[in-house]
Amino acid sequence: MKKSLGVIMAALMAFTFGTASAAEIGNDGFVQVEVEVYPEPGESLNDMRRVAVAEAYRQLAEEVDELHVTSNTTVIKSRRASDTINISVDTILKGARISKVYRDNAGVFHAIATLGVYGGANSLAGVLLPTDVVQEDFPQPKMTSMESGSFDQGKSYTGLILDCRGKGLATAISPAILSQGGERIYAYENVPRQTAISWGMVDYSEDINSGVSRAGDSPLVIKAVSVSGGVDPVVSQADADRILAANQASKFLANCSVVIVR
């Protein structure tokens, strides 16, 4: 064992590492980190590959720890608060996969580590989201649908697209949508837990014209006015009422048919 550790440490010292891509929850529900390993002269390709893989796993674990669970909780905070959660997250991280390892034309080795966030009780979401939350009804709109702006009473919306571009929004396992008055109009306590941990509260997209299929063919599109706690979109009171009134007719929020464009 001591000899193996010495070999590993010597190999690590022989390479310089490139910066890893920052971990976020992608619109496919995965966290992905890519690392670059720059070799020193004389190092073998096998050593380069092995160190790249080890570094990808290490950096993925670090990045996952920094992920938001909610606006005021991160994975590492949850792990520190509970030995059970800490052990469970460690087990999940061991199941991460190296989705790609390759050497580029400059001789640099790249390794991409990938981990799914959702999928059921044994996923990150299943471990980190509480089990003792009683499901609550969605709030009622404060205005009638006729008073709440351009809401179309005759239209059946299939989902919600929230445009948060330019707001500096980060991803979270369990974000909420807030009105400007601070009311949580969409949150974990409003949806079936099994839906939230299997599919996720939201999808994230970088493009309002693509990666938004989760919201269906006839989505309600709303532009956020700000972001709270780094991860929770805030909408105007009129738009909050539009969302809640549309949801009363179509029930899309209970299905987590929500896409956030960043």
- C-beta of residue 212 within 8 angstroms of C-beta of residue 219: yes
Whole-angstrom Cα distance, residue 253 to residue 187? 9
Looking at residue 153, what is its pLDDT? Answer: 60
Looking at residue 145, what is its pLDDT? Answer: 45
pLDDT at residue 101 is higher than 80: yes
Q: Nearest CA to 29 among 126, 167, 94? A: 126
* Residue pLDDT, tens place only, 163-192: 999 999 999 999 999 999 999 999 999 999
Neighbours of 175 (CB within 10 A): 31
CA 5 to chain centroid: 34
pLDDT at residue 113 is higher than 60: yes
Tokens of 254: 């209970």
pLDDT at residue 18 is higher than 60: no
Tokens of 170: 């980060």
Q: What is the mean pLDDT of residues 81-85?
A: 97
> Helix crossing, 2-13 with 45-66: angle to 10°?
90
Q: What is the mean pLDDT of residues 72-96?
A: 96
* Residue pLDDT, tens place only, 36-65: 998 778 888 999 999 999 999 999 999 999
Whole-angstrom Cα distance, residue 166 to residue 163? 9
Looking at residue 7, what is its pLDDT? Answer: 36
Phi, psi at 230, each rounded to 5°: 85, -20
Global pTM reads: 0.86
pLDDT at residue 146 is higher than 80: no
* Residue pLDDT, tens place only, 190-211: 999 999 999 999 999 999 998 8
pLDDT at residue 35 is higher than 80: yes
Q: Nearest CA to 24 among 202, 215, 223? A: 202
**Mean pLDDT of the chain, nearest integer:** 88
Higher pLDDT, 21 or 107: 107
Looking at residue 1, what is its pLDDT? Answer: 32
Whole-angstrom Cα distance, residue 202 to residue 159? 11
Higher pLDDT, 128 or 210: 128
* Residue pLDDT, tens place only, 67-78: 999 999 999 999
pLDDT at residue 22 is higher than 90: no
pLDDT at residue 19 is higher than 80: no
b/e map of 8-25 (b: 16 or more CB within 10 Å)?
eeebeebbeeeebeebbb
Whole-angstrom Cα distance, residue 222 to residue 208? 11
